[in-house]
Structure 1
Amino acid sequence: MSKDKIILDGLEFYAFHGCHPAEEELGQPFIVDAELFLDLAPAGQADDLQATVNYDAVYHLIRETVTGQRFKLLEALAEAIAQKILTCFPVEEVLVRVKKPRAPLPGTFNYAAVEIRRRSNP
């Protein structure tokens, strides 16, 4: 696996995911972090966008997934994002973290989150 990566950190979207009726009705913010592992040497040496993954395209794919579909579980949302990235872009591995800052939990906390790591099929 390449140690190079493209990082998208703190992408915030308003969406309607969750198991509780209020979450599905009112919605809430979700924050997504994604790390795409791939060899960045060709792009660095050629200074050519065609030799890398365009992070603007990744952003739009994540936004479309978060806001265009509904999931009960953060696990399902993270899995959908990871699988779409692996399908659409030439990456070896992807790490996806989905944060839910307004999770229906008592007390004070920053967020509830799920983090998954998936590899492309060789």
Structure 2
Amino acid sequence: MANDKIILAGLEFYAHHGCHPAEAELGQPFILDIELVLDLSPAGKTDDLKATINYDAVYRLVRTIVTEGRFHLLEALAETVAQKILVSFPVEEVMVRIKKPRAPLPGTIAYAGVEIRRRRKSTDFPGGYSKGR
């Protein structure tokens, strides 16, 4: 497994996720960090975008999921993002961290959040991804 990563940090979207009716009605910001684990040496050697993952495409996919979907739990949102990335891009592993800075809690808090890591299964990427590229 590669130790290389593409990192997208601090992706902020306004969305309507949460269990409370006010969260669904009013919405709030969500901040995501995404790490894509894959071998970046082909791109490093060739300086060719085709040898890596275009992070603009990852950003657009994540934005669509977060802003157009509706989830009660951050866990479900994170799982959906991770699984869509695994089936859409040739990554070995993905980490998704979601921060909810306006979580409806009775005290002062920087954010509530979740972080998950998911690894590729051999059937995840139908495009024929192989580690050797």
Normalised to the residue count of structure 2, the TM-score between the two structures is 0.91
Tell me the distance in 1 between the aligned counterparts of 2:10 and 2:103. Answer: 17
Pair 1:49-2:58 in alignment: no
Aligned alpha-carbon RMSD (Å): 0.5
Residue of structure 1 in register with 2:114 after alignment: 114
Distance in 1 (CA, whole Å) between partners of 2:79 and 2:18 is 15
Aligned-partner SS, 2:3:
coil
TM-score (norm 1): 0.99
Instruction: Please list every run of at least 4 consecutive aligned residues from structure 1 whose deviation after the TM superposition is greater than 4 angstroms.
Output: none
Find out whether 1:12 has 2:12 as its counterpart.
yes
Secondary structure at the aligned position of 1:97 is classed as strand
The residue type paired with residue 44 of structure 2 is G
CA distances 1:87-121 after superposition (whole Å, capped 9, x unpaired): 00000000000110000001111100000000011
Structure 2, unaligned runs of 5 or more: 123-133
AA partner of residue 52 (structure 1): T
Q: Name structure 1 gaps, 5 residues minimum.
A: none
Shift of residue 25 of structure 1? 0.2
Structure 2 distance, partners of 1:118, 1:6, is 15
Q: Secondary structure at the match of 1:103?
A: coil
1:46-82 Cα offsets, whole Å, 9 max, x none, are 0000000000000000000000100000000000000
User: Which residue number in structure 2 is paired with residue 93 of structure 1?
Assistant: 93
1:80 aligns with 2:76: no
| Secondary structure in 1 matching 2:24 | helix
Name the aligned partner's letter for residue 82 of structure 1: A
CA distance in 2, matches of 1:73, 1:35: 21
Give the match for residue 60 of structure 2.
Answer: 60
